[in-house]
Amino acid sequence: MYKLIDGKAHSRCLREQIADEVKEYKRSLGRDIGLAVVLVGNDGASQVYVRNKIKACEEVGIKSFAYYLPETASEQEVEELVCELAENDAVHGILVQLPLPKGLDAEKILSLIPVDKDVDGFSESNMGSLCMNKPCLVACTPNGIMKMLEREGIQLKGKNAVVVGRSNIVGKPMAMLLLNADATVTVCHSKTVGIKEICSSADILVAAVGRAKFITSDMVKEGAVVIDVGMNRDEDGKLCGDVDFEGVKDKCSFITPVPGGVGPMTITMLLYNTLIAAKRRG
């Protein structure tokens, strides 16, 4: 019998802890913790994400600064705003909502965020520190997955972990976190030969490939822990993950649902990173 990993429940508990720590920070230092969110353009999904992040900040007592630039904003305008926020002492974390409109250099813009304000954990410096297992701000989704595994009491040391997907946002930092936790890690991607056999050997299987129901029952080991990062639509337009949940669940010891699994933890870890960034600055 599988156990469902309830990301909403884990998120609620962590947000309560974060709220308590934010309150103590304010009490002891007499100032707010600030997160700046920059949205360029009118992408509908991005607007929803930004609203959710602002609401989450309010929930835990973090002050949010929202900046909305039009689709026609120039590279220089966006860069100048990010540089201003980098110098603003009231801002402890900076988040530039992706994707950016065509014509804007996301890599260059993100590089302007100081490493100690990079609460998305995407900078080369933070990624490099993660690879070397040094303290850093870690990408929110993989960090949230690690928190859930920890809170569920799932042991990683010596386990065979497989990550399907090699993005800089999820796949690569996820692999590094698992490796740092003493798991033996394999990363699969679109060019991997024998992916079915590799996945079916995993004690811990993380699916972050962006393809609806890609992970099927014959790719899952009996008793495996399956973490589904995907957010897709199936043939009926229904929200689903990278894992064929109904086909896979009965082979698992633990599995995350979509929605309600990994998703709620991502914004929670953004709040956590902002708190950590503020504490480090003092």
Give ∠ CA 219-224-230 in degrees, rounded to 5.
65
- Residues in the chain, overall count: 282
Lookup: tokens for 137? 């701000």
pLDDT at 183 over 90: yes
Residue 153 sits in a domain of what CATH number? Answer: 3.40.50.720
Q: How many structural domains is the chain composed of?
A: 2
CA-angle at 262, arms to 261 and 268, nearest 5°: 115
- 1: pLDDT strictly greater than 90: no
The reply to whether 166 and 247 lie within a common domain is yes
Residue with tokens 């870890």: 269
Looking at the fold, whether 250 and 155 belong to one and the same domain comes out as: yes
User: Which positions are catalytic?
Assistant: 53, 97, 120
Q: 164 and 249 in one domain?
A: yes
CA angle 19, 23, 26 (to 5 degrees): 140
The rounded mean pLDDT for the chain is: 97
Q: Is the pLDDT of residue 212 over 90?
A: yes
- % pLDDT > 90, the chain: 97
Give the CATH number for residue 66.
3.40.50.10860
Is there a single domain that holds both residue 79 and residue 149? no
* Owning domain of residue 159: 140-263
Give the pLDDT band (50/70/90) at residue 136. Answer: very high
Separation CA 37–CA 95 (nearest Å): 5
